[in-house]
Amino acid sequence: MKELSIFKGKRVLVTGHTGFKGSWLSQWLLELGAQVTGLALAPLNDQEHFCLAGLEKHLDHQVCDIRDLNGVNQVFAKAKPEILFHLAAQPLVRYSYEAPKETFDTNVGGSLNILEAARRSPNLGAVVFVTTDKCYQNQEWHHGYRENDRLGGHDPYSASKAAAEILFQSYLRSFFDQNPEIGLASGRAGNVIGGGDWAKDRIVPDCIRALAQGNPVRLRNPKATRPWQHVLDPLFGYLKLAARLYENPKAYPDAFNFGPAISSIQPVGRLAEAVVEAWGSGKLEISQDPNAVHEATLLHLNCDLAYQKLDWEPVWGFERAVKETTLWYLKQHQGQSVPELTQTQIKTFTQDLK
Ligand SMILES: NC(=O)c1ccc[n+]([C@@H]2O[C@H](COP(=O)([O-])OP(=O)(O)OC[C@H]3O[C@@H](n4cnc5c(N)ncnc54)[C@H](O)[C@@H]3O)[C@@H](O)[C@H]2O)c1
């Protein structure tokens, strides 16, 4: 895609490159010819997508804790980024109840350090600051949330991301607005699925673990609905946003939603069925939880702004997203090379762009 050719030869810094979304983004940037530096904690184990995809060989892998301002400054000084994607975070809601201080320290304090380093980086032309759909205060609305709706969050993770958004706005107004050479915006996306995610308590990795071991997939809450989106869809939004900001720093709003189409909001049971179908064997077992707590009305994003201003819209719908995700895991299970799988999927996605 022509618009993304801007990344060729650019020095791009990705925080959180050892994580699920960051590793896919780094791979895509490498495909586009960028010189990528990654700043993150070390991968948790050698089964992480970052390791399986062999990314360490192709980018400048900097292990650094974003809570350490000196360390962050050193990475920025060496990398001299022209474009920055900030994804590093403690991203798990359930863990945020166990470790609220770590969550706030990382997602707010760490993000503060990234913005501090960014404002002292003379070559920087565009920043995409990644938060989440959970930064909105859930008002139990049935319509999609817009970028200027109220921020807020009940659990520590959501609150930390809402706080990071406020921090970002403050830095924007106080330090970056006066500089005509740099464009910044935050990107808000929801749950994503895709190959190489092995996180606990996430439905697709749970299904894959069961299927790979020949066990039935056990579902406790099959009727709960969620928005499902392939990881490449919001990443395409972040890339487009960065490209536009770099070309025309002051021409865009400072926050964008990148959510799936309404038809991708589907029950967990339907998702698990689609995973089993694409895997080609396996069965589902429903064990309803009699103590299941009431769920708040699902929050979903209104993405009109990204559509109008960036000409962005989701490319892969629900069925395709689940199929591509499951086939990635299936082929990996069958021994296919992960770098090839990831590269092929990025290529296929790119061919599907209008
Ligand atoms: N995965 C999703 O469904 C989803 C949905 C909405 C938003 N997000 C956001 O996208 C971003 C990436 O999420 P992900 O799912 O890839 O998470 P992940 O857990 O797979 O990766 C997190 C990355 O952040 C890094 N990190 C964590 N703490 C750090 C620290 N103190 N210092 C340096 N690096 C640190 C990790 O090393 C890793 O590289 C996060 O900002 C997350 O909040 C993710």
Is position 32 within any domain?
yes
CA distance 146 to 305: 8
The predicted pLDDT at position 66 comes to 98
Is position 138 within any domain?
yes
Q: How far is the CA of 87 from the centre of ligand 1 (A)?
A: 6
Averaged over successive runs of 10 residues, the pLDDT of the chain (354 residues) comes to 94 98 98 98 95 97 98 98 98 93 98 98 98 92 94 95 98 96 96 91 92 93 89 98 98 97 93 96 84 63 97 96 97 96 97 88
The predicted pLDDT at position 296 comes to 54
The predicted pLDDT at position 100 comes to 97
Is position 224 within any domain?
no
Is position 284 within any domain?
no
Is position 220 within any domain?
no
Q: For ligand 1, atom 4, which residue shows the shortest CA distance?
A: 191
Q: Is the CB of 189 under 6 A from ligand 1?
A: yes
- How many domains is the chain partitioned into structurally? 1
Q: For ligand 1, atom 42, which residue shows the shortest CA distance?
A: 91
CB 270 within 8 A of CB 201: no
The predicted pLDDT at position 1 comes to 78
The predicted pLDDT at position 105 comes to 98
CA distance 93 to 98: 9
For tokens 């106080």, name the residue.
174
The predicted pLDDT at position 75 comes to 98
For the record, the structure tokens of 10 come out as: 């650019």
CATH of the domain at 247: 3.40.50.720
> What range does the domain containing 37 cover?
2-193+229-264+292-317
Is position 178 within any domain?
yes
Is position 93 within any domain?
yes
Ligand 1 atom showing the smallest separation from residue 202 Cα = 3
Is position 285 within any domain?
no
Q: Is the CB of 16 under 6 A from ligand 1?
A: yes
The predicted pLDDT at position 290 comes to 65
Q: Is the CB of 243 under 6 A from ligand 1?
A: no
Q: Is the CB of 20 under 6 A from ligand 1?
A: yes
Contacts of 97 (CB under 8 A, 6+ apart): 155, 156
